Chains A and B, each alone.
Chain A
């Protein structure tokens, strides 16, 4: 099966600019997650979708970050305006359903904010 697809692979922007990341989960996976991974740390959950509804966005900085999952398939994560501390790898993951289904991760988008 095809894995989780993410684009772009790398992005460099200046602070106060905006940026968007795209994720296409594995076909049929109902649950989609966005994680932020700062260098040297484990991934931190930003938002979790079940189909096209938000299950958990408690860690999402909503003043600058937004995410959507239209039609319950693809998802986009946006940052506007970006800050230096947003430099990180943004990982998308999907799972077949809630419960004990394991996560399948994409290879992420590495964002550098200068």
Chain B
């Protein structure tokens, strides 16, 4: 089973920041938080990952709480092309390190 909980859907106005929450209250010390998104009829696309520090790349920012029990993916200026299902995954990098997907958050960016 997935170790994360995400809201099933969210709306965001075009040009505004989209903040997608993820709860991972049982995360272990060696588990990273990964975010992927899946646009209709395509395979999932990697966005960003982090362990405990906040991370930023050209696509998004990842904010992880100090206790690491939750995180937020931020798309700073959402566009219509960001409409997709967003998956939050926790994954260890040693031992059994499966990527287990949940049902994700369906983000709809509104014009």
Give me the interface of A with B, judged by CB distance under 8 Å: 4, 33, 35, 40-45, 48, 56, 91, 93, 98-100, 102-108
Taking a contact as CB atoms under 8 Å apart, the answer to whether A107 and B41 are in contact is yes
Contacts of B56-100 to chain A: CB distance below 8 A: 87, 91, 93-94, 96-100
Taking a contact as CB atoms under 8 Å apart, the answer to whether B32 and A42 are in contact is no
B43 CB to nearest A CB, Å? 3
What's the Cα separation between A104 and B34 when bound, in Å? 13
A66 CB to nearest B CB, Å? 20
27 cross-chain CB contacts under 8 A: A35-B101, A40-B103, A41-B103, A42-B102, A42-B103, A43-B44, A43-B101, A44-B101, A45-B99, A48-B98, A56-B96, A91-B43, A91-B44, A93-B43, A93-B44, A98-B97, A99-B94, A100-B91, A102-B34, A102-B49, A103-B44, A104-B46, A105-B45, A106-B43, A107-B42, A107-B43, A108-B43
**Residue picked from A33, A98, A103, most chain B C-beta under 10 Å:** A103
A96 CB to nearest B CB, Å? 12
B93 CB to nearest A CB, Å? 5
Taking a contact as CB atoms under 8 Å apart, the answer to whether B42 and A45 are in contact is no
What's the Cα separation between A102 and B45 when bound, in Å? 9
Give the total of B residues in contact with A, Cβ under 8 Å.
24
- B13 near A: Cβ within 8 Å? no
In the complex, which residue of chain B has the Cβ closest to the Cβ of A4?
A: B43
Q: Give the 8 A-B residue pairs with the shortest CB-CB distance, closest first.
A: A105-B43, A42-B101, A102-B46, A100-B93, A99-B93, A43-B101, A105-B44, A107-B43
Interface string of B10-43 (1 = CB under 8 A from A): 0000000000000000000000101010000111
